[in-house]
């Protein structure tokens, strides 16, 4: 399977999960989605990640983002593992974990990188827009847990730039100044962005976050 690229349609699938049978498109509906894979159940870094994800679910909910995880173990194993996650992370896992024992979803999303491990998934992340296109991909090695603050930051940027003619600069967070799209002439930009436009360079114009 070729690697999914930005703008590609996220492949649909139906699979068993810790919450029963899940069809990706039906589950997402008109929401954004974040799909993230874990190498295996009962592994230490994954346990911290899923507990953290559960604690962040409210923030993703505010942004209309539905969470869905995946591991190559079965649903029964997931349910037992969730008990451990809830206990040690003092949380309640409140989103489905896909059971991908046959690796069908992992293959669809190119989550198994043979030079890292021939059977277990790497830590893949896919952010999927309501139109089912892939808006972000990230790949972490098994040894590195994800930063969920960064994933929220990326969602904020994706949702802002989907609706406004701006881009977000390095280390941007919601409420910070944003970059005016290079395609917009400065005179036009000043009419669009009524909070003001600062021309740092002809190609670098800044304006306050239009949603703040």
**The domain containing residue 187 runs over which residues?**
164-207
Q: Are 56 and 141 part of one and the same domain?
A: yes
Residue 153 located in a structural domain: no
Q: Is 46 a catalytic residue?
A: yes
Whether the CB-CB separation of 109 and 72 falls below 8 Å is answered with no
Q: Are 78 and 182 part of one and the same domain?
A: no
Query: Total structural domains in the chain?
Result: 2
Per-residue pLDDT of the chain (212 residues; tens, 9 = 90+): 568 899 999 999 999 999 999 999 999 999 999 999 988 899 999 999 999 999 999 999 999 999 999 998 999 999 999 999 999 999 999 999 999 998 899 889 988 775 666 556 668 999 999 999 999 999 888 889 999 999 999 999 999 999 999 999 999 999 999 999 999 999 999 999 999 999 999 999 999 999 98
Residue tagged active-site, from 24, 28, 35, 46: 46
Determine how many CB atoms are found less than 10 A away from the CB of residue 137. 16
């Amino acid at each position: 399977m070729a690697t999914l690229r930005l703008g590609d349609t996220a492949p649909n699938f139906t699979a068993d999960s810790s919450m029963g049978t899940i069809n990706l498109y039906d589950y997402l509906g008109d929401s954004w989605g974040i799909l993230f894979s874990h190498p295996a159940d009962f592994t230490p870094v994954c346990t911290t990640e899923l507990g953290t994800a559960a604690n962040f679910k409210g923030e993703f909910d505010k942004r209309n983002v539905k969470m869905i995880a995946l591991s190559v173990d079965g649903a029964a194993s997931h349910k037992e593992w969730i008990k451990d996650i809830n206990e040690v992370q003092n949380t309640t896992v409140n989103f489905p974990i896909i059971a991908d024992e046959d690796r069908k979803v992992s293959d669809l999303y190119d989550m198994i990188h043979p030079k890292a491990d021939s059977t277990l998934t790497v830590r893949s992340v896919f952010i999927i827009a309501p139109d089912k296109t892939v808006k972000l991909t990230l790949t972490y090695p098994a040894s590195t847990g994800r930063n969920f603050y960064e994933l929220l930051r990326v969602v904020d940027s994706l949702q802002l730039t989907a609706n406004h003619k701006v881009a977000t600069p390095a280390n941007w967070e919601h409420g910070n100044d944003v970059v005016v799209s290079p395609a917009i002439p400065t005179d036009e930009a000043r009419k669009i962005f009524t909070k003001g436009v600062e021309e740092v360079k002809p190609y670098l114009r800044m304006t306050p976050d239009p949603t703040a």
